Amino acid sequence: MSCEKGDGDPMEDPLFILESGEVYRNPTEVKMSQIVMPCHANHCGELSVGQLLKWMDSTACLSAERHAGSPCITASVDDIHFEHTIGVGQVVNIKAKVNRAFTSSMEVGITVSCEDLFSSCQWNVCNAFATFVARRTEEGKVQLKQVIPRTQTEQMEYSIAAERRRMRLTHAEIITDLLSSNTAQLGECQEYQGAVSAERTRVESVELVLPPHANHQVSTFGGQIMAWMENVATIAAWCTLCLGQ
């Protein structure tokens, strides 16, 4: 973990000055800072990944709605790799902005960093990309306005966003093809000493959607669903670990 001293955000882009002399700020950018309280921690005393996913989803949704000018919903989130854990008392800084808008969907880039207020250390936690879709109105689908990239970083993300979208669509087709009856093949089952049966790690959860789980659109928001998924996955992982010992 690297420690960056000072007040600057380790993820902050260099200042971009407009012709008018004003400092440019991406109109879709949304920033959120949260201090990690004990109620946000898991059994290890670290920030629950599910809680972090909820914060990330909320920040990204605000960015998407700022661009769309209408309610948006989470369509998908790409793979996320968490580089560091976050402890109680540390500050989580989340930044989200729309990288590119397509017909009715848009890619939102999310960056998460952590800050220790007492040592002035800052470090990156993860980068993520989420796809949001503007809700249909009575007139039909919402036609999103295009994003105009200005900085070098924005231009790069704008260009790569189209390729990432193509890869998402291709990946979905590949998975569907692999799971089809024509291509799915059962591999040989091999016995491993100390192996744990997959059935013994199976975990199911039924959740009742309550008002605290709803967003401003009065429906369960994506971050809450991801938090429930992460909780069940964590229990299954612990089952594997405990049963294997």
Residue 172 has pLDDT above 80, yes or no: yes
| pLDDT in the model for residue 225 | 95
218 band by pLDDT with thresholds 50, 70 and 90: confident
Q: Mean of the per-residue pLDDT values for the chain?
A: 88
| Mean pLDDT, rounded, for 4-11 | 50
| pLDDT in the model for residue 7 | 45
More confident call, 237 vs 86: 86
Cβ(44)–Cβ(241) below 8 Å: no
| pLDDT in the model for residue 141 | 87
30-180+214-243 folds as Thiol Ester Dehydrase; Chain A (3.10.129)
Residue 123 has pLDDT above 50, yes or no: yes
What's the rounded Cα separation, in Å, for the pair 31 and 67?
Answer: 15
Each residue's pLDDT tens digit, 51-91: 999 999 999 999 999 999 999 999 999 999 999 999 999 99
Q: How far is CA 40 from CA 89, 105, 110, 221, 245, in A?
A: 10, 31, 20, 18, 29
Cβ(54)–Cβ(227) below 8 Å: yes
| pLDDT in the model for residue 12 | 62
Tell whether pTM > 0.75.
yes
| Mean pLDDT, rounded, for 221-234 | 94
What's the rounded Cα separation, in Å, for the pair 38 and 106?
Answer: 35
5 band by pLDDT with thresholds 50, 70 and 90: very low
| pLDDT in the model for residue 147 | 96
Residue ranges of domains in the chain: 30-180+214-243
